[in-house]
Chain A
Amino acid sequence: MRMSNKTNTKQAASVRTPASVRNWRTALEKWKDFLFAFPALALLAVFLYYPLGNSFYISFTNWNMTRPDKKFVGIDNYTYLLGHEDFYQSLKITFTYTIMDVVLTLVIGLLLALMFNVSSRLYAFMRGIIFMPYYISMVIAAMVFIWIYNGKYGLLNRVVSLFGLDPVEWLINSQTVLPALVVVSVWKGVGFAMILFIAGLRSIPSDYYEAAAIDGANRWMLFRYITLPLLSPMTLFLVITTFISSMQVFQSIDIMTNGGPLQSTNAIVYWIYTMAFSQFRTGRASALIMIFFVIILLLTALQWLISRKKVHYEG
């Protein structure tokens, strides 16, 4: 009954509407789905793609944000940066930090995955605790670690003194400051690596291990010749994603060291920030942004190429 009513009204409607309006409607119908994608596309166009192009343009100007005039200076900003020792110093700091962070996060994450890959509620609970710091704000994490690293009253120096060693000003000593920053990042990141490694471990079919065990393989051989190679896609994914996010280190530096002591933690993003908002060298900061972005693009492309190659010879 209801059905027939509906078809009746539909027919009636189509009889009444002229052909031009009907065509317009079917045309609109074709576009309606697109209209639902439009807000997302428009937001990205305005707040991502346009600023990306604009940053690129600004990088060829001598613009200073506090002044209205903007002069095209060609590649001057790039030649300045590439010819300046600070640039290589900042790159070195960033890569040193990043490599320490990636290696420690992944090695500890893998060890944790092997240790915590047990199906029980207790282990699930413990995994939950280990993953939690990943979601704690870096600002708050930095605050706790500033307190732990405090030269006079910090817990770390108390522990150090138990071993008869002298107290260290962890964040003021240029030898210890980078490792001290890395520790905070590793603390936050190992849980994530662990969760992904466990997902990887669980995707390895158990009959591989059984077959190898029958052939007399010991635990180390199982790990070396089955677990590690079959985890390699996950490892690659984690290396690249951790590398990229680690290269963007900013918050912990802004809170814990302000780039110091003596510029020893002046990593790229922190340098971009101070160049743009303390020195107002907008053009030069944009050139640094573009160099930084190209590095990230290359890393992403590398990941894509390697993972594609993997798929090829496995398939």
Chain B
Amino acid sequence: MAGQRNSKAVGVIRLVLAAAVTLLILFPVYWMVVSSLKTQSEMRLAVPTLWPEGFAWENYAEAFRVIPYARYFGNTLIMSVGLIILQLNVALWAAYAFAKGRFWGKELLFLLILAALIVPDQVTFIPIYVMMSNLSWLDTFWALIVPNGASAFGIFLLRQAFKSLNNDVLEAARVDGAGRFALIYKMLLPMALPTVVTLVVLIFISSWNSYFWPLIMTNSSDMRVLTIGIAFLRDSIAGDEAMYFHIIMAASVMAILPIIIVYSLMQKHIVAAMANSTFK
């Protein structure tokens, strides 16, 4: 009896501690939102307020005024959608070929794909920059999308999913005269839908957050994506940057909102994919 009460008390203490840790980790995000709703003078109080005195929504309108925010948002969206379309299709085809296809050198070629996982962007960016410059693709969406068209991680993830699917159904469809595109888009894709959706979400998040690549490949202010735009917004502030941080925070909140929404909806799948796919 006493032992049971004891373990209950342990459970409560654990929960309180866990909640405190969760709030601590959430705090920077909370602080960003709160700061985005403060006025300039409230940002500079001697004792900071943990809750804004009034909601200064005009900070958000101001963010649209000081930088072409809508344009940057649109650029980020175009880049992300472009990367999703290209990476997903290239990965679907390759995953089909490596999981279900038969051709000479399959295992060896797959190793070449896996090896790409080891090579960071920083190793290849100079020659690609030169290449993009020769093609006159610098400062265009082509340079942001095409060089990253093949995602080794995506191919690996989809190949694992396709491999676990039953071959009999595919053979039956093939005998019925289904072409390879039909096999991929009408059979494999629906059967591996959770993995496909997870991959789309992961591509979206990584392209929405990308910084290094757009920093190298674009230079006009018209082609900036959100991450670059916000970094430049802060750089453009001369003198006391505390004067403008409420606006930077408002710009930041809007920039991570799509990620937070997508993450909240897809969290279960993302966590499962992370826990399963990385450790193999």
Interface residues in chain A, defined as those with a beta carbon under 8 Å from any beta carbon in chain B:
6, 30-37, 39-41, 43-44, 47-52, 54-55, 58, 65, 112, 115-116, 118, 122-123, 126-133, 135-141, 143-148, 150, 152-153, 155, 158, 187, 190-192, 195-196, 198-200, 233-234, 237, 241, 248, 250-251, 254-255, 269, 272-273, 276-277, 282, 285-286, 289, 292-293, 296-297, 300
CA gap between A38 and B177 in the complex, in Å:
23
Q: Please determine whether B91 and A144 come into contact, CB atoms closer than 8 angstroms.
A: no
Q: Please determine whether A155 and B48 come into contact, CB atoms closer than 8 angstroms.
A: yes
CA gap between A152 and B155 in the complex, in Å:
49
**Chain A minimum-CB-distance residue to B227:** A139
Q: Please determine whether B123 and A293 come into contact, CB atoms closer than 8 angstroms.
A: yes
Q: Within B132-153, which residues are at the interface with A (CB < 8 Å)? A: 146-150, 152
Assuming the contacts A41-B112, A43-B150, A47-B149, asked whether A36 and B256 have C-beta atoms less than 8 A apart, the reply is no
B216 adjacent to chain A (CB < 8 Å): yes
B119 adjacent to chain A (CB < 8 Å): yes
Of the candidates B91, B118, B241, B249, the one whose C-beta lies within 8 Å of that of A40 is: B91
B187 adjacent to chain A (CB < 8 Å): no
Assuming the contacts A39-B94, A135-B209, A196-B275, asked whether A51 and B124 have C-beta atoms less than 8 A apart, the reply is yes
Q: Please determine whether A112 and B21 come into contact, CB atoms closer than 8 angstroms.
A: yes
Q: Please determine whether A190 and B127 come into contact, CB atoms closer than 8 angstroms.
A: no
Given A52-B124, A58-B126, A65-B130, 15 more A-B residue pairs with CB atoms under 8 Å apart are A33-B103, A33-B180, A36-B97, A37-B98, A40-B113, A47-B149, A126-B22, A137-B227, A138-B211, A143-B234, A144-B32, A146-B241, A153-B45, A237-B279, A286-B126
| Sampled A-B contacts (25; CB under 8 Å) | A34-B97, A37-B93, A39-B93, A39-B149, A40-B94, A43-B90, A43-B150, A44-B116, A47-B124, A50-B127, A51-B125, A51-B126, A51-B131, A115-B14, A129-B26, A133-B25, A133-B28, A138-B209, A143-B249, A195-B275, A196-B275, A199-B279, A241-B278, A250-B212, A272-B122
List 7 A-B pairs, minimum CB-CB distance, nearest first. Answer: A33-B101, A37-B97, A51-B127, A40-B94, A51-B124, A43-B150, A137-B209
Chain A residues with Cβ under 8 A from B97's Cβ? 33-37
Main secondary structure of the interface of A (DSSP, over half): helix
State how many angstroms separate the Cβ of A133 from the closest Cβ of chain B.
7
Q: Please determine whether B263 and A135 come into contact, CB atoms closer than 8 angstroms.
A: yes
Q: Please determine whether A40 and B155 come into contact, CB atoms closer than 8 angstroms.
A: yes
Chain A residues with Cβ under 8 A from B264's Cβ? 128
B242 adjacent to chain A (CB < 8 Å): yes
Chain B residues with Cβ under 8 A from A152's Cβ? 44, 242
Chain A residues with Cβ under 8 A from B184's Cβ? 36
B60 adjacent to chain A (CB < 8 Å): no
Q: Within B154-171, which residues are at the interface with A (CB < 8 Å)? A: 155
Assuming the contacts A147-B35, A153-B48, A155-B31, asked whether A52 and B123 have C-beta atoms less than 8 A apart, the reply is yes
Q: How many residues of B contact A (CB 8 A)?
A: 89
Q: Please determine whether A128 and B126 come into contact, CB atoms closer than 8 angstroms.
A: no
Interface centre among A33, A50, A144, A155 (most CB of B within 10 A): A144
Q: Please determine whether A39 and B150 come into contact, CB atoms closer than 8 angstroms.
A: yes
Q: Please determine whether A41 and B109 come into contact, CB atoms closer than 8 angstroms.
A: yes
Q: Please determine whether B122 and A289 come into contact, CB atoms closer than 8 angstroms.
A: yes
**Chain B minimum-CB-distance residue to A45:** B112
CA gap between A49 and B115 in the complex, in Å:
10
State how many angstroms separate the Cβ of A113 from the closest Cβ of chain B.
11
Q: Please determine whether A36 and B93 come into contact, CB atoms closer than 8 angstroms.
A: yes
B85 adjacent to chain A (CB < 8 Å): no
Contact with A along B18-34 (1 / 0, CB 8 A): 11011001101101100
**Chain B minimum-CB-distance residue to A50:** B127
Chain B residues with Cβ under 8 A from A131's Cβ? 267, 271
Chain A residues with Cβ under 8 A from B43's Cβ? 153
Q: Please determine whether B123 and A148 come into contact, CB atoms closer than 8 angstroms.
A: no
